[in-house]
Structure 1
Amino acid sequence: MKMHADQLTVSPERVRMLVEQQFPAWRSLPVRSIDSQGTVNAIFRIGDRFTARFPLQAADTESTRRWLESEAAAARELAGRTRFATPEPVALGEPGAGYPLCWSVQTWLPGVVAAHDDPGGSYAFARDLADLLGDLRAIDTHGRTFAGTGRGGDLQSHDAWMETCFRHSEQLLDVPRLRRIWATLRELPRGTAGDTMAHSDLIPGNVLVRAGRLTGVLDVGGFGPADPSLDLVSAWHLLEAGPRQLLRDHLGSDDLEWERGKAWAFVQAMGLVWYYVKSNPAMSRTGQRSLNRILADRSSPA
């Protein structure tokens, strides 16, 4: 079932044709699709070293090119800046073989995503996550600030989206209580600290783990300046209560920063549950689990 009304179809055969036409040096490498919870790109491996990512939603070719170029620039800026592996850009593919958009090639990172090997109870993973967030925040913004309309700026700018989510979730969630929680979270002011660098999408499908430890981070194209609390979505998407508290202690987050992190996780999780309930049940369950953690938190309204 398609996740988006305008979703494109990308098959291994089409990817093979594009690789042969545009990157003949890789002609002998096997192409195989990757089973992923991802909602933005179809993912394919090219041999053992590369990953090809194909945007799933129809869009203007030039705007897609600009976006992929900005993703590659973000990946290059992040490469080597933390002790955890991240994909590095390799090439930009062109439209062809019936696929209408540009596409990207990155280095392949081995490992299992946290969506398939849950590290939520691991204190060692929580310490690794704290190290990652600390490393990201320490990278120089070079004077840049958050730009855009997504998560990472003003909470109240998401009111209309939250209303859409509440309306579509009436048969799925305890919407009256969730409305009360949002009414509180949306009033949280920005802290006095300026924007810091953030991954911006630390969900289980973007985190690689092994034996309860963090080994790598995927989907780094959104790396950029944002509200310092944005990457604290990981506390709710990835951790149970004990390790979550350890993460907070290691980061030294005050009440405002911690609650704003919860607010960003709430915004993201509310959208995941209803939008993907039929087309991507695993992603919907990810949102449900995060909301359950927020509902169970003692500071959330009853």
Structure 2
Amino acid sequence: MRAGRMHADEVEHDVPLVRRLVATRFPQWADLPVEPFDSSGTDNAIYRLGDDMAVRLPRRAGSAAQVEKDLRWLPRLAPLLPVPVPVPLGAGRPTEDYPLPWSVYRWLDGENPSVGRLTEPVPLARDLAAFVAAFRRIDLPDGPPAYRGGPLATLDAPTRIAIDDLRGMIDTDAATSAWEAALEAPGWAGPPVWIHSDLMPGNLLLVRGRLGAVIDFGTAGVGDPACDLIVAWNLLPAGVRDDFREALRVDDATWARGRGRALSIALIALPYYRDTNPVFAANARHVIHEVLADHENAG
């Protein structure tokens, strides 16, 4: 699925634009082929550059800060993580054609996982736990606040607005009950830890069913470790969630906050992307179903 325009303030982009940008900023790559890449990414449009590179264009101004953030932090994070992460090769400045900074990365092989089609779910759950645990152990000073690293209560207002917007589409009473239960969980009392905070299926690359790479570190930083548990509901089957949880030794409160975080992300995403990004919207529906099922079983 090639995601088209998703945001009202999205900057236009196409192959001729990318060719002009590359030719001006990186003339050594001007003769390489440029092809749009099918992606459901909400922050950046991706174009293949030759066989082993990718051009990444922020879709709107709010995502542009990721370019500088990646250049600063990815080279420092990469040696500390158990799987490959994006390698920035260079950045481009805004131009008259394209008013935002942009960047070129080394291409990473692999395929995004599909819910319900995992061939190695238990090993994958352990791979993901190892990645999350490695991230938490990182000791790099002056880490930026993670985009989703704050208290769950800061999402209360937008989550309730989203629930109201979804009347007639989901069981809003059950969603409200599950959300309020998550808000009752004790907050994170420890020091902030490094987290990716956006472990969505579209940011994971699998090779032969196992975790081969993790991409899109635009939301990474320090905060509540519960944020990196969202993958338990947006990808992993219910039958292997305990494998993931046990590998990380997650306490009840952190697990509850992670489940609430996954629910909030999905509730807010569904009304926003239901007409513009069917892949993202479908995953949001899946998360809502899984979290509400967990909440009902717990009750």
- TM-score class, shorter-chain normalisation, is over 0.9
What SS class does the counterpart of residue 189 from structure 1 fall into? Answer: coil
**Post-superposition shift, 1:67?**
4.0
Please state if 1:225 is matched with 2:218. no
**Post-superposition shift, 1:233?**
0.7
Q: Aligned partners of 2:82 and 2:97: how far apart in 1? A: 40
What SS class does the counterpart of residue 46 from structure 2 fall into? Answer: strand
Give the equivalent residue in structure 2 for 1:200: 197
Distance 1:179 1:129, change over 3 A: same
What SS class does the counterpart of residue 220 from structure 1 fall into? Answer: coil
Please state if 1:266 is matched with 2:263. yes
Distance 1:21 1:94, change over 3 A: same
What SS class does the counterpart of residue 54 from structure 1 fall into? Answer: strand
**Post-superposition shift, 1:237?**
1.0
Please state if 1:160 is matched with 2:163. no
Q: Aligned partners of 2:116 and 2:184: how far apart in 1? A: 35
Give the equivalent residue in structure 2 for 1:113: 112
Cα deviation digits, residues 45-65 of structure 1 (max 9, x gap): 111221111111246xxx93x
Please state if 1:214 is matched with 2:211. yes
Count of residues in Structure 1 that have an aligned counterpart in Structure 2: 296
**Post-superposition shift, 1:167?**
2.0
**1:195 touches 1:227 (CA, 8 Å); kept in 2?**
yes
Matches within 5 A, 1:62-211: 64=64, 66-96=65-95, 98-115=97-114, 118-119=117-118, 122-142=121-141, 144=143, 147=145, 150-211=147-208
- The percent of aligned pairs where both chains have the same amino acid is 35
Give the equivalent residue in structure 1 for 2:278: 281
**2:136 touches 2:194 (CA, 8 Å); kept in 1?**
yes
Q: Aligned partners of 1:117 and 1:171: how far apart in 2? A: 26
Q: Which moved more, 1:103-112 or 1:114-123?
A: 114-123
Cα deviation digits, residues 3-47 of structure 1 (max 9, x gap): 111112110111001111111000121111100010111101111
State the AA in 1 paired with 2:58: P
Cα deviation digits, residues 137-182 of structure 1 (max 9, x gap): 11114265x637x421111111121122112111211111101111
Q: Aligned partners of 1:262 and 1:298: how far apart in 2? A: 9
Q: Aligned partners of 2:267 and 2:219: how far apart in 1? A: 20
What SS class does the counterpart of residue 209 from structure 1 fall into? Answer: strand
Structure 1 stretches of 4+ with a deviation exceeding 4 A read 298-302
Give the equivalent residue in structure 2 for 1:7: 10
State the AA in 2 paired with 1:274: P
State the AA in 1 paired with 2:202: G
Distance 1:104 1:85, change over 3 A: same
State the AA in 1 paired with 2:6: M
Q: Aligned partners of 1:246 and 1:127: how far apart in 2? A: 7
Question: RMSD across aligned C-alpha pairs, in angstroms?
Answer: 2.1
**Post-superposition shift, 1:74?**
2.3
Q: Which moved more, 1:4-13 or 1:75-84?
A: 75-84
Q: Aligned partners of 1:266 and 1:115: how far apart in 2? A: 19
**Post-superposition shift, 1:69?**
0.7
Give the equivalent residue in structure 2 for 1:293: 290
State the AA in 2 paired with 1:36: S
State the AA in 1 paired with 2:165: H
**Post-superposition shift, 1:299?**
6.1
Give the equivalent residue in structure 1 for 2:33: 30
Unaligned ranges ≥5, structure 1 = none
**2:112 touches 2:201 (CA, 8 Å); kept in 1?**
yes
Give the equivalent residue in structure 1 for 2:46: 43
**2:120 touches 2:210 (CA, 8 Å); kept in 1?**
no
Please state if 1:16 is matched with 2:13. no
What SS class does the counterpart of residue 55 from structure 2 fall into? Answer: strand
**Post-superposition shift, 1:97?**
5.4
Unaligned ranges ≥5, structure 2 = none
Give the equivalent residue in structure 1 for 2:239: 242
